[in-house]
Chains A and B, each alone.
Chain A
Amino acid sequence: MAEFSAEVFQNEFLSDGATDVHAVVSVTCTGAGAAGIGAGGAGAGGASGVAEIVAVDTSGSMQGRNMEAAKHAAAVAVDQIPDGTLFAIIGGSHVATRIFPYPNARVPMVTMEPGARNEAKRAISTMAAGGGTAISTWLRLADDLFATAPVAQKHLILLTDGKNESEPTMHLDRMIADVTGHFQCDARGVGDRWVVEELRKISTALLGTVDLIARPEDIAEDFSALVRKSMARGVAAVDLRVWAPQGSQVLFVKQVAPEVDDLTGRRTEVNPLTSGYPTGAWADETRDYHVAVRVPAKPVGSEQLAARVQIAVDGGVAASGLVKAKWSDDSTLTARISPEVAHYTGQAELASAIQEGLAAKAAGDEATATVKLGRAVQLAAETGNDDATSRLRKIVEVENEEEGTVRLKRNTAKLDEMALDTASTKTTRVRRA
C-alpha cells in the first residue's frame, strides 16, 4: 500500500504588516508498487490496470537512420511492456495510423502477451516514412484508443524528429486542451529539427516530460526507461490540494523538483477554500512544491494557518503539510529566508532565464540574450546546478560567474542549445545539512 508523507520547509515568521507566506512542501511516496497492481491488483483490463501507447513519427523526414532507429526503439518498448498491459502502436505523419492492433483488427487495444508482442514487432517492422507532420492527429487517435481502455492509468510515449508543420499551431493547442486529463504523455525529440517549445507544450499539459535524444541509436534505451518508469507508477491519479483561509489568495503553486512546472493555471475547485492540481501517477519518488499564499496581515503575536497542502488519492487525503504564519516584531526571526524557498526560487528563475535567453538569441536580440543567459549562469552557480552550468558554458563564454557577465559564443551547435532548453526545467535538490 502506497504511503505519502509531506514535509514543510518555511520561515513562518512574518514582519509586522507582511502578507505573503512562502513554503516548500516536499512530498514523498513510498510503497507505490507496480502500475496496475499497486492501486488494487486488478491487473490489466480491470479498472486499475495500465494502458500504454507508443506513437512514432513516420513523416518523410524520418527516412533513413531515424526511421530505422525509431522502429527498433518501438520494438524495444514493446519488449518492456509487461504481459497484461493494454497497448497499441501509432504511426504518425500528417495523419495518424494505428500500426498495431492492425488497422483491420476489431479491438482498439490489445492485452500484451507473447503472441501479441511478436505480432506487434512484425507490424512495427512494416512502418515506412512518408508524408508531413500533424501531431494533433496523433493525439486524437491516442485519445480515441485510450477512451476504450477501462483502466486508471494511461501513458503515451510520443517521438518526433520535426516541426509540427502540416497544421496550424491552433489545431495542436486545441487538441492538447481537449485531451488534457485523459492520459499522461512523455514527449521525445530526436535530432535537431524539432521544436522544443512545441513538445514542451504537450508534455507539460499532459503531466509528462520532454527530452532531447541527440543520436537515433539512443532512442531504444530512452523508450525502455520510459516504459519502466511508467510501469513503476503504482499510484494512478494523485492530486495536490491547497487549502487557503477565507479572505486569502493563492499566489502560485509550482512543482520545483525534480522539474519546474507551474501548476497555478491547472487549478480546479475542490471546495471554495481548496484548490486541486492534478499531478498524474506516482512511483516511489519525492516531488517538491513551492506554494505562495497572500493572507491579510494580523497583529504582531498572532498566528495563522496560511495553507494546508494535501496529497489526495482517490478523493481521500493521504498526507498533509501545514504552512503557518506568525507575525513577529523580532527581526532576527522575520529576516531569515528558508534555504529551501530561496533555493527553489533561484531554480525557477534559472529555468525562465534560460528559456527567455534562448528565445531572445533565436530572435536575434543579442543584448537580451546576453543579459538573460548571464543571469542564468549566475543562478546556476548560486544554486549549485552544475549540469545547467556545463550546458550554459557550451552557449556562452563566462567572464564572471558571480556577477553573471557572459559573451555569446559564435557558431554554437543547435543541439547544444536544444539540450540546454529541454533541460532548463530540471532542478537540483537543495543540499540539506
Chain B
Amino acid sequence: MSADDSTLVRCPSCGENAAPRARFCENCGTPLGAPDADPGTPAEVTLELAPIVVDPDPATGDSSARRSCAACGGTIAPDGYCADCGTPGQSERDHFEERPAGWVAGVCDRGVRHARNEDAMALAAGSTFAALVVCDGVSSAPDSDVASLAASRAARDVLVAYGPQGSSSVEGATSRRIAGWTDAMVAASRAAGQAVRGAAEQLAATKGTDVADDPPSCTFVAAVVDDGLIVAGWLGDSRVYWLPDAGSPEQLSVDDSWAQEMIAAGAPRAQAETSPQAHAITRWLGPDAPDTDARCAATVPSGPGWLLVCSDGLWNYCSDAHDMGDLVRRFATSGDPHTTAAALVRWANAQGGRDNITAALARVSPTVTEQR
C-alpha cells in the first residue's frame, strides 16, 4: 500500500498508459496482462513457478535455501542473480506459496517495484474447513514485513483453534456458526494485533529504538470456509471476494480506506480509487492502532465458486468484483487454486507490479460443502 499507486495499466513494453482492462497496448500493440491473453484459450497460460510449497522462517522471514529463478526457471548463481537471465534471485520472503489442501492455495510475491515483500499470508485447510489470512505491511513503516508475517500466522492459528479439529470448535446451525465465527474473527484480529505489537517491541529492543517511533503496522483480512458458510473479517483495505460460477460476484469486505469513505459519500468508484489519498487506510493493526477488532461479513453460497483473499497489489489492477470474477475465471480453467493464484500474481506483475501482491484462493464447491 502506498499513496502513489493507481489503477492505470502501463504497457510493459513502451510505457503507454492503457485502460485497466485493455488486452493490448494502444500504442505499440504489446499484449497486456498474461502473455497469452486470448480470452478464448486461457488454458494456454503457462506457469513456471516453483511447484514447491515453502515456508519462510517465522523469526526472520528468511530461508537460506536457494530457489530457481522466478523469471526463467534458471539457476541462481552464488552472486544472487540468475545465471541465465540476470534477474535477481528472490529470497523465500520475497515470494512464497502455500497449499494446505488441494482446494486451497495462495501465492505471496514482492512484485516489481518494491524492494521488500511486506505482504504476508497464512493458510490452513482440512476437507471442509479453510482459513485464509492476508496481511499487507504498511510500507512507510520499517519492518512491516516482519510484522505482517507474525500477524497473519497468529490469526491463522486462532482461526484453526475455532475450526472442526480445534479446541473451541464453532458448531451448530448456520446462524449460530455465523455468530461463532464472528467472535473467532475478532479474536483472530486481536491476536494478530498482539503479534504486531510483540514484533514491534522485539525489533525496537534489538535496535535500541523506541517502539513509538514509526512502529510497523499492517492490514488484516481473513476468510473462513466452514461447511458451506463463508465468513470474512478485516481491518484496512485488503479484500475478500466471493466469485460464484453462476450469479453475481461480490466483494465481502468493505475497505477501511479514504477511497471507500468517498464512495460511501457518493463519489464514483474509479475517481475515488485513483485519487492520491485513495490508499490511506483508516483502520490497521499496529502499536498505534486505535482498535484491532475486525469487521465481519458472512455469506452462504448457493453454488460453487472461488473465494479470493488478496492484497491491493492485485485488486489495484482489477478492483470491481465483476472484473475480478472475469479475471479469476480467465485463469481458473484448470480448477486448481495453486496455478490460478500464481497466474493472478503473474498477471499483476505484468501490469507493472507496483505493489506487493498476494492472492489466496479456495475452490468452494457443493461437493465439498455436502461432504459433512
Contact = CB atoms under 8 A, between A and B. Distances in A.
B353 A299 contact: yes
A299 B12 CA distance: 6
30 contacts: A244-B86, A245-B82, A245-B86, A246-B72, A246-B84, A246-B85, A246-B86, A248-B86, A273-B84, A298-B12, A299-B10, A299-B352, A299-B353, A300-B113, A300-B352, A301-B111, A301-B112, A301-B113, A301-B114, A301-B352, A301-B353, A303-B87, A303-B88, A304-B87, A304-B88, A305-B81, A305-B82, A305-B88, A308-B77, A320-B79
A298 B352 CA distance: 10
B352 A245 contact: no
A320 B111 CA distance: 29
Prevailing SS type, chain B contact patch: loop
A295 B86 CA distance: 10
B14 interface: yes
B153 interface: no
Given A246-B72, A322-B81, A304 B14 contact: no
B29 interface: no
B85 A247 contact: yes
A295 B87 CA distance: 12
Give chain B's interface residue range (CB within 8 Å of chain A).
20 to 34
A245 B85 contact: yes
Nearest 9 A/B pairs, CB to CB: A301-B113, A305-B86, A245-B86, A305-B81, A301-B112, A245-B85, A246-B85, A303-B88, A304-B86
Contacts of A302: 112
A246 B353 CA distance: 22
Nearest to A304: B86
Contacts of B88: 303-305
B354 interface: yes
A298 B72 CA distance: 14
Interface in B61-120: 72, 77, 79, 81-82, 84-88, 111-114
Interface in A286-317: 295, 297-306, 308
A17 B28 CA distance: 13
A261 interface: no
Contacts of A79: none
Given A299-B353, A300-B113, A301-B112, A245 B14 contact: no
B15 interface: yes
Nearest to B111: A301
Contacts, number: 52
B354 A301 contact: yes
Q: Which of the listed residues A246, A273, A320 has the most CB atoms from chain B within 10 Å of its own CB? A: A246
A303 B353 CA distance: 13
A245 B84 contact: yes
A320 B352 CA distance: 32
Given A305-B81, A308-B81, 19 more contacts: A244-B86, A245-B85, A245-B86, A273-B84, A299-B12, A299-B112, A299-B352, A300-B113, A301-B112, A301-B114, A304-B86, A304-B87, A304-B88, A305-B79, A305-B86, A305-B88, A306-B86, A322-B79, A322-B81
Nearest to B352: A299
A418 B12 CA distance: 53
B15 A16 contact: yes
Contacts of B84: 245-246, 273
B82 to A, nearest CB: 7
Interface string A271-291: 001000000000000000000
A296 B6 CA distance: 25
Contacts of B79: 305, 308, 320, 322
A320 B85 CA distance: 17
Contacts of A16: 15
B189 to A, nearest CB: 31
Nearest to A245: B86
Given A17-B14, A320-B79, A305 B354 contact: no
A9 B330 CA distance: 46
Contacts of B81: 305, 308, 322
A305 B74 CA distance: 14
A320 B78 CA distance: 11
Interface string B323-363: 00000000000000000000000000000111000000000
Q: Which of the listed residues B81, B82, B354 has the most CB atoms from chain A within 10 Å of its own CB? A: B81
A308 B82 CA distance: 11
Contacts of B72: 246
A300 B112 CA distance: 8
Contacts of B353: 299, 301
Interface in A227-276: 244-248, 273
A305 B76 CA distance: 12
A337 B280 CA distance: 37
Contacts of A303: 87-88
Contacts of A305: 79, 81-82, 86-88
Interface string B10-27: 101111000000000000
Contacts of B14: 17
Q: Which of the listed residues A245, A248, A320, A322 has the most CB atoms from chain B within 10 Å of its own CB? A: A245
